[in-house]
A = this chain, B = another copy of it.
Amino acid sequence: MSAIFGKEILDYIYNLFSLEDEVLKEMERFGKENDFPIIDRYSGSFLNLITKIKKPELVVELGSGFGYSAYYFAKALENGKVVLIDYQERNIERARYFFEKGGLTDKAEFRVGDAVEIAKEYKDIDILFLDLEKLRYLEAVKTLEENLSEDAIIIADNVLWHGNILSETDRKAERLREFNSYMSERYRSIIIPVGDGLLLSVK
């Protein structure tokens, strides 16, 4: 890969292509005030676009927090639904609040509990989105492979681990490298080098 772009150009991209939505802005403020990690706005736009291209019936999210990333999926859905899962009830209640505000509850299912366990209940998942504990990425994919539809997409956030993915001393980096290697061998994959690194894989 050749060019590495500076902050000015990244800002240019960011400003030109963000999805404008009042509820999303409120969610961003909530995230900031509460120091709650969410995907960045560029990654959100990317999820939205891929969903428009893919036209999935079923999106399952592992680690939904208060619903920021799920909101980008929901906004792009024509018929399907997105399943939000988080083991903190408080998060899921907040997600429900924001989805109601945005008029998107009919495109969503809200679940509280362990994300991998709950996801196992679903068959023919078209898009699986991973944003749970990083140490569990590989286990999550291996466990859920049989629940994927024939030409499913897998997307995972944080796969460049804040730029520390090559660290030899960070255990999470090591586990994420294992995950990335597995995904590169078993799927056609690519990492979008924005935000914290977004992996896109196709069966």
Contact between chains at A8 and B166 (CB < 8 Å):
yes
Closest to A52 in B: B202
Complex: A156 Cα to B197 Cα, angstroms: 22
Q: Is A74 an interface residue (CB 8 A)?
A: no
Q: How many copies does the complex hold?
A: 2
Complex: A180 Cα to B2 Cα, angstroms: 21
Interface 1/0s, chain A 13-42, versus B by CB < 8 A? Answer: 110110100000000000000000000111
Contact between chains at A1 and B195 (CB < 8 Å):
yes
Return chain B residues, CB-CB under 8 Å to A54.
53
Q: Is A79 an interface residue (CB 8 A)?
A: no
Return chain B residues, CB-CB under 8 Å to A53.
50, 53-54, 151, 153, 202
Interface residues of A (CB under 8 A from B): 1-14, 16-17, 19, 40-42, 45-46, 48-50, 52-54, 151, 153, 160, 162-163, 165-166, 180-181, 184, 188-197, 200, 202
Shortest beta-carbon contacts, A-B, top 9: A1-B10, A13-B191, A16-B184, A1-B14, A1-B42, A52-B202, A5-B193, A17-B190, A45-B190
